[in-house]
């Protein structure tokens, strides 16, 4: 298969992959009973009535964690080409890759020392 064909396959696959999980939902929509009432549709929080708004501000810890992840993930994407071309790299390119990984480690140590990795 050619390169275009490969991506055409993925394109068709993405369209079909929506339909496959949707099919049991549609079948269920045909057969299932519908007898809603206010109590049944209430939010289930162990039988206790819901207090306050659900969509509130969340703990900053999660945000911090997301930031650390983002730094690592974006940097790692750049390492993939380096790893692929590894066997053809000359010594300079090899050293540049190592330096890049060292910078990554540096970020990790910084986050560690700043207590960004502690879960309170």
Angstrom distance (rounded) from CA 26 to CA 29: 5
Residue with tokens 């502690």: 118
Place of tokens 């986050």: 111
DSSP string, 16-33: HHHHHHHHHHHHHHHHS-
Tell me: does residue 27 bind other proteins (CB under 8 A): yes
Based on the shown chain and the rule CB under 8 A, indicate whether residue 49 belongs to the binding site for other proteins: no
Residue 79, interface with other proteins (CB under 8 A)?
yes
Query: Minimal distance in Å, beta carbon 118 to other proteins?
Result: 8
Residue closest to 47 by CA, chosen among 55, 39, 38: 39
Q: Does 99 sit near other proteins (CB under 8 A)?
A: no
Options 60, 62, 92, 115; binder of other proteins; rule CB under 8 A: 62
Does 38 sit near other proteins (CB under 8 A)?
yes
Closest by alpha carbon to 97, among 107, 106, 108, 86? Answer: 86
106 binds other proteins (CB under 8 A): no
Q: Counting contacts by CB under 8 A, is residue 101 touching other proteins?
A: yes
- Nearest approach, Cβ of 14 to other proteins (angstroms)? 7
Nearest distance, CB of residue 4 and other proteins, angstroms: 10
**Contact present, 97 and 79 (Cβ < 8 Å):** yes
**Minimum distance from residue 42 beta carbon to other proteins (Å):** 6
């Amino acid at each position: 298969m050619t390169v275009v064909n490969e991506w055409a396959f993925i394109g068709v696959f993405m369209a079909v992959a929506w339909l496959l999980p949707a099919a049991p939902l549609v079948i269920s929509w045909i057969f299932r009973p519908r007898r809603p009432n206010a109590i049944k549709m209430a939010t289930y929080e162990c039988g206790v009535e819901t207090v306050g708004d659900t969509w509130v501000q969340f703990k900053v810890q999660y945000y911090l964690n997301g930031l650390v992840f983002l730094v690592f993930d974006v940097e790692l994407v750049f390492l993939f080409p380096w790893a692929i071309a590894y066997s053809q790299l000359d010594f300079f390119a090899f050293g540049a890759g190592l330096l890049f990984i060292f910078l990554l480690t540096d970020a990790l140590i910084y986050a560690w020392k700043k207590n960004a990795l502690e879960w309170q």
